[in-house]
Structures are given as structure tokens and as C-alpha cells.
Structure 1
Amino acid sequence: MPKRLRQIRKVSALLREQVTRREYKRTVQTAVTENVPEAIVELLKKLDQVEQRKKPRRFVPSKF
């Protein structure tokens, strides 16, 4: 169990600044009470969504 908790802490540290506080608390609670790997996957998905939002759109020149 400590190893799993360490995983949660590592992922959640990355996530803490980037997801709303309510979402963060909810996922960490599920991680502690229920299925840990599932919660980690959920956190990573949210992290991915946030990263995609941050990316600037690439400039695509219009076709002639």
C-alpha cells in the first residue's frame, strides 16, 4: 500500500496546480478509499486534458 500511496502523491503533485480543487480532492479520496490504480489513471487523464487545453493552436496556412 505505501508504494501505491507514493504513486498517488507523485501524480497528484503534478496535478494539484492544474485541476480544480474540488476535482482534485474527489479523485484523491477515491484513490484512498477505493481502487487506487483506477484513480491514478483518472488523474492522468485529467492532466492530459489540461495539457491539451494549454497548447497553442498551430498556424495552418490557408490553401490556395
Structure 2
Amino acid sequence: MRRKLLAHMLQGLESRAVYDFVTAHLGLVCALEHDGFVSYCLIDEGDWQHPFLKIVLKH
């Protein structure tokens, strides 16, 4: 049960980080996904400010 609770807590942190980034960069994000987002252009790593969630480029 503890693992499940921790997983839900981490999922909430991820969702909040993505939501905050999207609202701060209107027009840059074209699609939200369950674990991230898709943008029209490459995101500068300096633009993504989160203490432990990293931005990852997927093709």
C-alpha cells in the first residue's frame, strides 16, 4: 500500500510541474499527455525549472 501511495504522490507532483509549465508558456505546448506534453519546438533546459523532474526529448 505504501508504494501505491508514493506512486500517486509522485504522479501529482509530475502533473503539477507540467501544469505550471504549460500555464507559464501559453502557445508553446500543443498536446498534453498523461505523463508530459508535446511542444511545437525544442524546450530550453534553462526554461524548465524543477528540482528533480527532468525534461526528456523523445522522437
What is the TM-score with the length of structure 2 in the denominator?
A: 0.34
Higher normalized contact order (CA 8 Å, seq sep 6+, divided by chain length): 1
State which structure, 1 or 2, has the greater radius of gyration over its C-alpha atoms: 1
Higher helix share: 1
Higher strand share: 2
What is the TM-score with the length of structure 1 in the denominator?
A: 0.32
